[in-house]
Structure 1
Amino acid sequence: MSQEPICPCEELIHPRRLFNPPGRDTLLYRVGEFATFREALLQARPGEVELAGWRPSARGDLALQLLEWWAYLADLLTFYNERIVHDAYLRTAASPGTVERLVRVLGYRPRPGLGATGLIAALSSSRTPLTLPRGLAIQSKPGPGEKPEIFELDEDTLVDPSGSLAAEVVVPTNLVDRTDVLLRGTVSTLRVGEQLLLVARDWAATSTGYQVVTVAKVSREKDSRGGAVTRVILGKPITAELLPPGATTAPATSYRLLRAGQTALRFPFDTSLSKPGVIHLESIFRNILPGDWLLLSNEPLQLARVKTNSEEITFVPKSPPTGTLPIPIPHTVLTFELATLAAPPVVSFAWQEVGELVDEPPKSVLASGLELALEGPLPLPEGATGRHVLLEDSTGQGTRGLATPIGDAATHHVLISEADPPTVLTPPLRLLHNLLPVSRGATVAGEVLGSGDSSLAGQSFVLQKSPLTYLGEGAGYRSTLIIRVDGIEWKEVPSFHGQAPDARIFVTREDEEQKTRVLFGDGVRGARLPTGVENVVASYRHGSGADAPEAGTLSVLLQPRPGLQSVRNPVPVTGGADPDPASKLKQLAPRSVLTFGRAISAGDYEALALDSPSVNRARAYWTLDAQQQRPLLRLYVGDTLEAKKSAETSLRAASDPQRRVEVLLAQEKPVRLTLEVVMDPRFDKEDVEEGVRLALLDPETGLFGVKTARIGTTVYDSQIYEACLRVPGTLAVHELRFVLLVPSKGDDGKTPLQEQLEDRPDHSPGEGGFYVVLEEQDLTLNVKEAAPHES
């Protein structure tokens, strides 16, 4: 009834021998398939004689058809048996909801999606302060393919008039080595070739602190706010002689740019009268006063300050010819403080300011430690020395910070500290001081869940809107759900464990579709619901997830308010998170049994950090604090500052306060990969190339993906080969080049990435580092078809 297989590889073995070593992500549980079951059914049983003469036929043989039906049925049963076995173990479970049901046995509750929170700014058109009510709804402007998101004001907030102040960055311009200066406004009196005096405002009659400059070119420009400025190009660079004694920089606003209003010649009839520190002028100059500046036409030009001004009469000539009288000539005699300087042929005086020197506006500034000059005073709460504000730059981006007034109150200067994030801003800037705390979620008020029945234990109801909004709180989270039964508010608790029989409590649980079920007590742990008609009422907010509006898009007021002009969000809201995926639950749920909410071992710290919102990876190292001579646990997390703060909050609540823990942001190590892939010509080339890219870069499963690349883990060439060879159609991988991109400071001060070939089979990112392929073009694939003899 059966034939010997033509090829040994076609041999059918039944039942299949099963072997499942530890650590596998899939299990072998099927004892057979259709072909093996059919083969087994066609084999004669030992001692069978009734069917010894039966020869099944491929045509019209009902007996053969019945056997094949049974083989088909056995194939289906073993297939589903294997799927059931997979879903019975946490490591291999794959069906939707199965992982959550398994971890529930451990008492582990998967973290639901969290709503983002943040600060936005209100601009008021009212002349008096106004109060914005809690629950004020603001909607985002969605991009292509996106849905709008609704945020609400968390508390009643008082806002001041306006709410916005123009801010100029105070960054002193060092004039030394510059070839130009900047004047406020439009200056039209300058001429090319004209000599001007650049001098410190507090010049103290020393040999330095000033310089004579020549105008080479004048151009009229606009500053970052559209105001007029005049740029004066100089014939030569400004030198260090501009620096007063002891100074290291020459700030532009500490200097004056002057033009001489008058000049005077030295007394021409008797030059011997003028001596060092004294000069006799050609005539009377009563407008020269003590303290005025004189520019002496010596070589080089020198500046001096007038000490005294007196008048003398000199008879010329001293020895007149016989019969003539000398001519009396009155003239001015000046003494100046630098008595060592020789009297020059010409002096310049009566200085007039050409224009006000201003600082060169920076093209970009780092927000941290920034000094700003505001167009008006910053309103401060009573008794406060500073105010939390938002800064918005010309691109609509910004940062949060604390603005503290400094210096003279009339100048309206503030210092920005606690910048978060410490981002780079592009002037001009605006300071927004009416801040509104908002969080994601649209309110559903007074939703009737159903009727209570005291005869029933453990009643439950499902919220109509989903997902329920949860907001991060400390190391955990809280829901926005409020339940009232017969008008009395009941309290939400994590579980019924340890609750009194009369406790008015409830718990919430999410299913695989993120619908929220509200569960009540059974009279043993938690009170039963009292009997009533539609007496169980819920108020809550719905909406959550990692997707959050970008800066500048959270600006649509759904409920216009009198006096409220608009709202702005130069800083994106943060803290939103998707529900924990099954892959994360498989990792975190077993660890939760070991940690029980407290951290002792390095693995505990990693587990608690990974259970924090926004944390994609974590790695803990024990080391020695050399200064304090005690153990130190150094925990690295990726990938953002938000993740670092989230991990710090979680560990603060769960770790031993006597044990020093340092949370650091992991350092990404960008790499560039080049490899040659030999493919089976029967496969599509584009499919093979895309498969290799996903095997290396896919965020969930790729070797260099966010969920896969661990901190401090060595990557071997063999792992790259293995990942590529798992792609269907890939036959071989050659010419692998693993290049590390390291920053190197260039001549222009920038830090370009420089290639550093790692010509070895193992690549270690070091403590706290992890490899990442930043751009898709950093993975270069040369896919070619195999020669006929190779395939």
Structure 2
Amino acid sequence: MSDCDCNGACACACADCGGAATTPPVAYNPPGQDRIAYRAGTYRSFYGRMVAGLSGQQAGPLRQLHTRERGDPSIALLDAWAVAADILSFYNERIANEAYLRTATERRSVLELARLTGYRLRPGVAASVYLAYQLDANAGALTIPVGTRSQSVPGPGEQMQTFETAEPLEARARWNAIRPRLTQPQLRSAADIVDQPLYLRGVSTRLKVNDALLVDFGMGGQHDFHYYRVGSVALDEAAGRTRIGLRAWSGGAGTQSLALPGWLQLSFTSIDTLIRQLGRLPNLQPRNALRLRRDPAQAFVGGADVYPQLLKNFQPALDARLYDALVNAPVAQPVPVRVYALRVAAPLFAHNAPHQPAPGLENHMVLEPPDYVVPTITNTWGPFADLPGDGPDGLPHIALDRVYDTVRADADSWVVVDRPFVDGFSDAPDVPAGVSVHRVGNVRTATMSTPAGAALEVTQLDVESAWLRDLGDRDRMESVLESTAALRGTRVYAQSEPLELAEEPLAEELGDERGRIGEIELDGLYDGLKPGRWLFVNGERSDMGDVRNVAATELVMLAAVRNGVRMTAGDTGGGKEPPPPEPLPGERIHTFITLAEPLAYRYRRASVTLQANVVRATHGETRHEVLGGGDPTKAFQQLALKQGPLTHVAASTETGADSTLAVRVNGLLWHEHVALVADGQDARAYVTRRNDAEQTSVVFGDGMHGQRPPGGADNIRAVYRSGIGVSGNVGAGQITLATDKPLGVAGVVNPLRASGGADPDRLEQARRNAPLAVMTLGRLVSVRDYADFARAFAGIGKATATQQRSAGRAAVVVTIAGIDDQPVDPNSDLFRNLLAALRRLGDPQLPLRLQLCEALALTVRARVALQPDYAWEDVAPRIRAALYDAHGFERRKIGQGVVDSAIVATIQQVRGVAYALVQVRTYTQGELVAGLTPATPAGINRVEPAQIAYLTPKVPDTVILELLP
């Protein structure tokens, strides 16, 4: 082939064409090219035509010039002009290419072409984040003003970023970490106390298994005693309480049936469920407090916080005292159950007395059983065991086996007498085993002796309700007193010590798996919480089955606040009419809150904290700057901002961003317009221009279209914020430096990552988005209009729209992705503003759903054969780079299918490749989950409309290259 580039109209006198033609080349440009041919010729064609002209009929005297040596001055002159023409035609072609959007290579060209259609290159958008402030414990109520600055701690390769609060925040120290209510008063009865644990205050109760407990269920001054044994003891040192299980007084140790927490009853069927749970997005909260839907019935329900707030408003004297009084006001009687630990277990005096010989047989060496006198209470205690009177009044005395100094006589001193079965023999009645409780009226120490002559110092108890009185029959009482079994087997449990009850822990989880909005009861009474306030909910998820220690954080909005008490269930069972609910015994007033949207996850209640000092913040730092002095002699006076880039925040406008620039001339605010052509001579307006370095300039009018700024020294001032782009998308917990610290502020943190930040349009993005300005014209009619509008919205990289059926109606589903695959959180300003703009500019009667696209993993295995003399070490990196460039996120579209031939074509274009054999697969996230197990997912090449498949250089194994021999 010849290297002639004359497009078939050669006049260059080269060997291939002979220089016969003198017609200039004609450029032909097929449609859809990324560059156009617009050159009149090249150096070779220009030189050839000029040299050929020396021999033409119109050459005149120049025909006498026969030399064609380049050293000849005449030929050298033609050579110089050929060089000049080549340069001119080259730049002329470049200028022609810069005049078309598809072929322009300079960002300035695209910027100016876009302005012709009214499109301004997207300036980028600032990231948004929600900050949680921490206040000193002794700080009072304070207001954190708008513009309070905080900074991030940069990671490797990052720079410190500044964020400013976008709203005023009323903050209080009590709101640093609010806990949900974790305990409630114990409601126990004799019917269920064995089946439920009992919680005692403290961890030093000194109780152990089989210890005796006396429980009084009496009310109204009456006693209803029941006796139990300790079945189990568990210490909860963190909560400062002891959990004990009870069993019946006699019998086996027994077992206690406790309901397992809900998170122990769940089980996973597959890892896929785990990944789906981890990947669930938080629910979309209202955009701000003004967009919160309020229900008057809910706002003025009984116990609503509006009532004490109104009282404080009408009676200022209540302001500092009302809530302190309410929090300490008992609304129900204390818990009626009283528990006593019986620390002493004592046998009766002479319980170990031996059998004595019958009178007159003391000297016999061998005694038969009938000759024994067995010990009983009657013959060992003597007159101390005499029953008073002739009626069944019982025995008012109890003699213990030794001295017990710890037994006292007071109002709460009780003894439990455990009596064994007594066989009445002959005519005496049998006496069943029994347990009785008695108040100790008097305690004394005395010396008692047995008939055998043993004398011991013992403790004698006078009981107010006589012992054995429960038998109700004197013959039975005498049977006990005359029984050796009663003497040896009776045990007296004394030294009753009252145990203070603790509140029982609440086991129910926080959140509802059915997505219902429920109330959250807080651990106290909180003043000042108002609907519309942002909250962070932090805790350990309990909806993960057997997987523990999975922490989560949700941003939620407060919808309603009321103050009330926890009520009993009021259910008797058995189909009977349940009694009305009543406050739990000993209950006090707590605050109940309702969220605008249900929690997306379920949490272990004990792990949850709620942060209420939360405020929205955006990326950027405020600058106060003197731009200069006005000069009315200049038309379109231009002044540049000294700091950059200018911050634009997300907004529900057509462009998706609002500038933070405010310009004042002589103290008067001037307004930024898109263009000055429609402004009159009195309009205080200006436009802004951005150069390639993202430096912003303010351009004023010429007196005909917009005012010229009045003259003065430094009378033009600007307030704006600088800082924008993906650098503001810092991770969770990175914003920890409170640059501005109002008095009382201890610190700040962002529990969730910042999101929504996007860089200004690059060349390819501007080329793609510029035509969109004339596609929708500020109104959304067709389905494609929704996609075009979303694609041109600041911060959005890709968008598509489809029509689907929902509840029998047509609905538009818009699927979006962030620029460079930056994550877009549903609660970010970017997502909320785009949704609001779509609804405002579209059909209000048409159902609309905005969703994030699902990323698919695109993988390529290519076996490549090389052309001779090429090295694999040089070709393989270029193949990999070409694949990432042609099939990376930037070049792929949402819903675009994967074609094997396109992958082959990309590889074939790399210099040195002879041919390639490829295998292409796409993997959904569900298939990636399957790959976590030993099973290998098959992978498919199908891409759904709401999915995008692309290669990512972050995972090198997605592109596997092999050299064919």
User: Could you tell me the TM-score, scaled by structure 2's length?
Assistant: 0.59
| 2:915 aligned residue | 732
| 2:893 aligned residue | 710
Shift of the 260–436 alpha-carbon distance from structure 1 to 2, 3 Å rule, reads: closer
Distance 1:231 1:104 in 2: 78
Q: Note if contact 1:461-1:518 (Cα within 8 Å) is conserved in structure 2.
A: yes
- Return 149-158 or 403-412, whichever deviates more: 403-412
| 2:937 aligned residue | 755
| 1:147 aligned residue | 159
Confirm or deny that 1:576 pairs with 2:757: yes
Cα shift readout 1:558-588 (whole Å, capped 9, x = no counterpart): 3443322122221233333222223222222
Shift of the 664–709 alpha-carbon distance from structure 1 to 2, 3 Å rule, reads: same
Q: Note if contact 1:449-1:538 (Cα within 8 Å) is conserved in structure 2.
A: no
| 1:690 aligned residue | 877
Confirm or deny that 1:282 pairs with 2:428: no
Confirm or deny that 1:267 pairs with 2:449: no
| 1:503 aligned residue | 683
Distance 1:568 1:113 in 2: 25
Amino acid at match of 1:390: F
| 2:123 aligned residue | 112
Q: Note if contact 2:422-2:485 (Cα within 8 Å) is conserved in structure 1.
A: no
Which of structures 1 and 2 has the bigger CA Rg?
Answer: 2
Distance 2:182 2:948 in 1: 39
Cα shift readout 1:422-464 (whole Å, capped 9, x = no counterpart): 58999955432223343332222241322231x4443332222
Shift of the 353–592 alpha-carbon distance from structure 1 to 2, 3 Å rule, reads: same
Q: CA deviation at 1:547?
A: 1.8
Identity over the aligned pairs, expressed in percent? 25
| 2:135 aligned residue | 124
Q: CA deviation at 1:712?
A: 2.0
Q: CA deviation at 1:597?
A: 0.9
Cα shift readout 1:287-342 (whole Å, capped 9, x = no counterpart): 79xxxxxxxxxxxxxxxxxxxx9536697999x9xxxx9969989xxxxxxxxxxx
| 1:401 aligned residue | 556
Shift of the 63–526 alpha-carbon distance from structure 1 to 2, 3 Å rule, reads: closer
Cα shift readout 1:526-564 (whole Å, capped 9, x = no counterpart): 223223333222222222222213222223233443322
| 1:479 aligned residue | 659
| 1:205 aligned residue | none
Distance 2:198 2:905 in 1: 62
Confirm or deny that 1:159 pairs with 2:316: no
Q: Note if contact 1:371-1:414 (Cα within 8 Å) is conserved in structure 2.
A: yes
Distance 1:647 1:30 in 2: 45
Q: CA deviation at 1:598?
A: 0.8
Amino acid at match of 2:675: S
Q: Note if contact 1:449-1:462 (Cα within 8 Å) is conserved in structure 2.
A: no
Shift of the 107–23 alpha-carbon distance from structure 1 to 2, 3 Å rule, reads: same
| 2:619 aligned residue | 440
| 1:656 aligned residue | 843
Cα shift readout 1:195-244 (whole Å, capped 9, x = no counterpart): 999xxx9xxxxxxxxxx9998xx999997xx9999999xxxxx9997679
Cα shift readout 1:589-646 (whole Å, capped 9, x = no counterpart): 2222131111112221111111223322111123444524xx3322222253346434
| Among 813, 826, 832, the residue aligned to 1:634 | 813
Q: Note if contact 1:743-1:751 (Cα within 8 Å) is conserved in structure 2.
A: no
Query: Which 5+ residue runs of structure 2 have no aligned equivalent?
Result: 1-11, 185-196, 218-228, 246-253, 267-336, 346-416, 440-468, 488-496, 541-549, 567-587, 819-823
Aligned pairs for 1:362-761 within 5 A: 376-381=524-529, 384=530, 387-392=533-538, 398-403=553-558, 408=565, 410=588, 417=595, 428-453=607-632, 455-475=633-653, 476-548=656-728, 549-625=730-806, 627-628=808-809, 631-639=810-818, 640=824, 641=826, 642=828, 644-680=831-867, 682-683=869-870, 685-698=872-885, 702-705=886-889, 707-743=890-926, 755-758=937-940
| 2:372 aligned residue | none
Shift of the 591–146 alpha-carbon distance from structure 1 to 2, 3 Å rule, reads: same
- Return 140-149 or 664-673, whichever deviates more: 664-673
Q: Note if contact 2:640-2:696 (Cα within 8 Å) is conserved in structure 1.
A: yes
Q: CA deviation at 1:495?
A: 2.9
Shift of the 70–756 alpha-carbon distance from structure 1 to 2, 3 Å rule, reads: same
Shift of the 446–626 alpha-carbon distance from structure 1 to 2, 3 Å rule, reads: closer
Distance 2:477 2:28 in 1: 129
Shift of the 186–598 alpha-carbon distance from structure 1 to 2, 3 Å rule, reads: same
User: Could you tell me the TM-score, scaled by structure 1's length?
Assistant: 0.71
| 2:945 aligned residue | 767
3-state SS in 2 of match to 1:286? strand
Confirm or deny that 1:780 pairs with 2:937: no
3-state SS in 1 of match to 2:834? helix
Q: Note if contact 2:627-2:641 (Cα within 8 Å) is conserved in structure 1.
A: no
Q: CA deviation at 1:651?
A: 1.1
3-state SS in 1 of match to 2:179? strand
| 2:333 aligned residue | none
Distance 1:240 1:662 in 2: 52
3-state SS in 1 of match to 2:639? strand
Higher relative contact order (CA 8 A, sep 6+): 2
Q: Note if contact 2:510-2:602 (Cα within 8 Å) is conserved in structure 1.
A: no
Cα shift readout 1:369-425 (whole Å, capped 9, x = no counterpart): 7987756544434xx357422245699984321356676385857667457995899
Shift of the 497–362 alpha-carbon distance from structure 1 to 2, 3 Å rule, reads: same
3-state SS in 2 of match to 1:109? coil
Aligned residues: 678
Aligned pairs for 1:56-95 within 5 A: 56=69, 66=77, 68-95=79-106
| 2:32 aligned residue | 23
Distance 2:619 2:735 in 1: 11
Query: Which 5+ residue runs of structure 1 have no aligned equivalent?
Result: 173-180, 202-211, 233-237, 272-278, 289-308, 332-349
Shift of the 468–75 alpha-carbon distance from structure 1 to 2, 3 Å rule, reads: same
Cα shift readout 1:635-678 (whole Å, capped 9, x = no counterpart): 22225334643431221232122333332332333343323233
Q: Note if contact 2:341-2:498 (Cα within 8 Å) is conserved in structure 1.
A: yes
3-state SS in 2 of match to 1:616? strand
Distance 2:758 2:898 in 1: 29
Shift of the 619–77 alpha-carbon distance from structure 1 to 2, 3 Å rule, reads: same
- Return 481-490 or 618-627, whichever deviates more: 618-627
Q: Note if contact 1:153-1:436 (Cα within 8 Å) is conserved in structure 2.
A: yes
Q: CA deviation at 1:684?
A: 5.4
Q: CA deviation at 1:683?
A: 4.8
Amino acid at match of 1:512: D
Amino acid at match of 1:399: E
Distance 1:747 1:3 in 2: 66
Amino acid at match of 2:946: G
- RMSD of Structure 2 on Structure 1 (CA): 5.3
3-state SS in 2 of match to 1:696? helix
Q: Note if contact 2:778-2:841 (Cα within 8 Å) is conserved in structure 1.
A: yes
